[in-house]
Amino acid sequence: MCELLGMSAKHETDVSHSLALLRPRGGEIGPHADGWGLAFYEGREARVFKEPVPAAESRCLAFIAEYDYRSTIVIGHIRKANPPEFGRTSANTHPFSRELKGRSWVFAHNGKLPGIDADPRFTLERFHPIGSTDSEHAFCLLLDRLARATDGSPLGAADVAAALRPPVEALCELGEFNFLLSDGMHLVAFANTELHYVVRSCVERGCRQEVVLLATTALTDEAWLPIEPGRLHIFVEGRETAA
């Protein structure tokens, strides 16, 4: 399948060390050689970089890792096309991004959702895929449900969770559905198979820093824990919030 990387922090920080550890898994020591992508939030806007090439071979990703981009929310993905015929194209490379109510929403998925296109429960409304993946279809469906939930006012964590629970539960019936989703305020994490996290607290640049890192499998020798499966986890400023 694919591998996910996520970060939520109280203050802007970089993920350079995590990228250095993740990058070889994209075609060098791991099979995820069909593309890579990263989204760094700058307020409402997400700066998205992605290429349909192995992460381990990407000069662009190497530059980003050394550049030390700083953000409070990051979503990353290294891809293994499944099925293989949905191959190396920019349109099929995660993370996917769309605008909703004046904010960039970004989504990355690990798993497979066979039959999503033909299931009438998942008929799309406003948002539609550009590529051919089940992942992007699922993203568009979640955005449709979020669009229904707002009258233009900002969505809080409870609103986001309430809008997402029904479609997420339905999508889990199709197969493996592990994902990261953000609007620049909230980092939503969900897994019905595998996703891990580690929490860090330290003083950085004179400020108390709170950081949560998420990855499909542990990136370091720290005590990474599996997130509780089947439940939406929403992080704000490096801490999980009640939803």
Q: Which domains does the chain have, with CATH numbers?
A: 3-241 (3.60.20.10)
Q: Percent of the chain at pLDDT above 90? A: 77
Instruction: Give 49's strand partners.
Output: 38
Chain centre distance of CA 110: 9
Q: 84 falls in which pLDDT band (50, 70, 90)?
A: low
pLDDT for the residue numbered 85? 63
Buried b (16+ CB within 10 A) or exposed e, 107-139: bbbbbbbeebeeeeebeeeebebeebbbbbbbb
183-203 mean pLDDT: 95
Structure tokens at 174: 């199709």
- Of the candidates 34, 38, 37, the residue with the CA atom closest to the CA atom of residue 53: 34
96-121 mean pLDDT: 96
220-225 mean pLDDT: 94
Residue listed under structure tokens 């539609």: 128
Pairwise CA distance, residues 232 & 213, whole Å: 16
- Of the candidates 175, 146, 171, 172, the residue with the CA atom closest to the CA atom of residue 161: 146
Pairwise CA distance, residues 26 & 139, whole Å: 23
134-158 mean pLDDT: 91
pLDDT of residue 153 exceeding 80: no
**Summary mean pLDDT of the chain:** 92
- Of the candidates 167, 151, 142, 233, the residue with the CA atom closest to the CA atom of residue 196: 233
Catalytic residue among 2, 140, 172, 207: 2
220-234 mean pLDDT: 96
Confidence (pTM): 0.94
pLDDT of residue 1 exceeding 70: no
Residue 202 designated active-site = no
pLDDT for the residue numbered 25? 86
DSSP 92: G
Q: How many CB atoms lie within 10 A of CB 33?
A: 20
Q: 24 falls in which pLDDT band (50, 70, 90)?
A: confident
Lowest mean pLDDT among 69-83, 98-112, 165-179: 69-83
Per residue in 58-80, pLDDT (tens digit) is 999 999 988 888 999 999 999 97
Structure tokens at 155: 């969505």
pLDDT of residue 150 exceeding 90: no
82-102 mean pLDDT: 85
Helix (H) or strand (E) holding 181, with range, is: strand 176-182
pLDDT of residue 206 exceeding 90: no
* 152 vs 214, residue with greater confidence: 214
